Chains A and B, each alone.
Chain A
Amino acid sequence: MKTHKVEQLIIATVGFFWCFLMWFSTAAFSPSIAAHYHLSIAALGLLASSAIWMAPIGRIIAGWASDRFGAPHTFAVILAGCGLVSILSAFTTNYDLLFFERVIVAIAGVSFVVGIQHVAQWFDAQEIGTAEGLYAGTGNVGAGMGALLLPRIFGTNYHAAFAWLGAIAIVIAAWYLLRGRAAKSAERRATVQRRSNVRGTVFVWSRYIAIALMLAYAMSFGLEIAMNAWLPGYFTRGFHDAILALGFSGVAGVQIAAGTFAAVESFCASLFRPFAGYMSDLFQHKGWTPLPFIARTLPYAPRLHWLGISLILIALCMIGLTLAGLSGSLHASVLVLVALGICISFGTGGTFALVPLLFPDRPGAAAGFIGGVSTAAGIVYPLVFAGGANIHLGYLHAAVFMFVPVILFYFWAARYELHPEEHGLISQAALAAEQA
């Protein structure tokens, strides 16, 4: 079968977009589900949080499976399985069963790492940032589109929405199987498949640079999903009077304004991600290495510097968010928030422009580890934000006590001028045995 890498990129992006649409479709209809089943606030919160339960472990397994069985087979199984359960959930009348089925459908969110692996198997080093950015950024929009469009198309009829989403997922799964090819060459495919064992996975998990990238992704994507949950409440409490002064009234009015500020941050974080990947490619093309300590002679050294700059910008934006909050300026706070969304995209795009290059023989295992474990950070940040005496100080605490140590560790792990992936927690002897 004749194919082209752009076709593979489009297949992966459409599959990922649809998976993210399914992943967040429960949240889009949570008010309707809550009204239908008379759910309490606690039950509603449980339903909302259930979307993320399967992500950490699921992404690790999905990353390994894409190395082992190939991205098209893995992606098709995820799409078809989640699609089938989504259709079943459309006909369910028992809430406990519906909750269980929607947790299964939320597994669709693990597909991210499968597509990352797929794209990495087709695109060359000099264009990987843009390719991965286009895949991840465009696919991510599925989450926002779900919140924006599904309630407008289906109203409160979530049954019909779940059925349609599932049916189309099965069609995309068939397309993926029919046209998807796991790698550009049989040789590349065979190398990755041969390395997809437990020892290879432990090897990736124990590398300092892999841990640094995982923490970098926790600092960017983990922060993005934490902010999605945290920001509406933050603006409602921290800027209540300022929002009322804009002309909004009542709980619903304040909720709309606060939700808009949160949505803008999320929107920028998604749609600037391809640009972040392009910037990584540009740094690479120009050979820019402006930061101290970080390696300068590695074939992908400029990409390490771009990610380092992104992490510093995220930390600065967090400090800026605290300062803007303490000043009481809603306008300044929202402006910093837009900047934070853009800088978060720099971090997410910059991280996955590096992963396939650092672990070319284990792209799925590496993407699973870095993209999976880091999502747990989304649970931690809101606790830090809410822990301070002043609601605006939480960002400063996170920046100083969490982000600065992560940045320092990243600089330390990225300082090796030769094979940074050889340095890790496993001894040299074990490493030699693994490579044999």
Chain B
Amino acid sequence: MSATSPNPPAPQEAWFKYGVATLLLEMAIAIAVSAYSLYMTFNGLGGFPGKH
């Protein structure tokens, strides 16, 4: 992968790490809900959370 630096990268501000933590949490929720839903469905137990 080629890497060019049109502008030198600016340092991240303090809020950014909380923003990244939030997006990681959202991804974890997406993965957990998807895995749980698919487990339920593929085992014939029900569907999207709580829908039997």
Residues of A within 8 A of B (CB): 5-6, 124, 126-127, 130-131, 133-134, 137-138, 141, 148, 152, 246-248, 256-257, 259-261, 263-264, 267-268, 270-272, 274-275, 277-278, 284-290, 296-302, 331, 334, 338
User: Which A residue's beta carbon lies closest to that of B3?
Assistant: A287
**Contact (Cβ within 8 A) A287 B5:** yes
A246, A260, A334: which contacts B48 (Cβ < 8 A)? A260
**Contact (Cβ within 8 A) B41 A261:** yes
Please, how many angstroms separate the alpha-carbon atoms of A260 and B49 in the complex?
Answer: 9
Asked whether A127 and B23 contact (CB < 8 A) given A260-B41, A268-B34, the answer is: no
Please, how many angstroms separate the alpha-carbon atoms of A127 and B7 in the complex?
Answer: 14
A134, A137, A257, A271: which contacts B47 (Cβ < 8 A)? A257
Asked whether A267 and B23 contact (CB < 8 A) given A287-B3, A297-B4, the answer is: no
**Contact (Cβ within 8 A) B6 A271:** no
Please, how many angstroms separate the alpha-carbon atoms of A396 and B39 in the complex?
Answer: 28
A141, A246, A287, A331: which contacts B44 (Cβ < 8 A)? A246
User: Could you say which residues of chain B place their CB within 8 Å of the CB of A130?
Assistant: 16, 19-20, 23
Asked whether A134 and B48 contact (CB < 8 A) given A264-B34, A268-B30, the answer is: no
Asked whether A272 and B30 contact (CB < 8 A) given A260-B47, A287-B3, the answer is: yes
**Contact (Cβ within 8 A) B23 A275:** yes
Asked whether A246 and B43 contact (CB < 8 A) given A285-B9, A287-B3, A297-B4, the answer is: yes
**Contact (Cβ within 8 A) A286 B26:** no
Please, how many angstroms separate the alpha-carbon atoms of A374 and B50 in the complex?
Answer: 34
| Minimum distance in angstroms from A30 CB to a CB of chain B | 16
| Minimum distance in angstroms from A213 CB to a CB of chain B | 19
User: Could you say which residues of chain A place their CB within 8 Å of the CB of B48?
Assistant: 148, 256, 259-260, 263-264
User: Which A residue's beta carbon lies closest to that of B18?
Assistant: A6
Please, how many angstroms separate the alpha-carbon atoms of A67 and B26 in the complex?
Answer: 30
| Minimum distance in angstroms from A147 CB to a CB of chain B | 9
| Minimum distance in angstroms from A155 CB to a CB of chain B | 14
Please, how many angstroms separate the alpha-carbon atoms of A6 and B16 in the complex?
Answer: 10
Please, how many angstroms separate the alpha-carbon atoms of A298 and B29 in the complex?
Answer: 36
For the complex with contacts A260-B38, A288-B1, A300-B6, 8 further pairs of A-B residues with Cβ separation under 8 Å are A256-B41, A260-B40, A260-B48, A263-B47, A264-B48, A272-B27, A288-B3, A296-B4
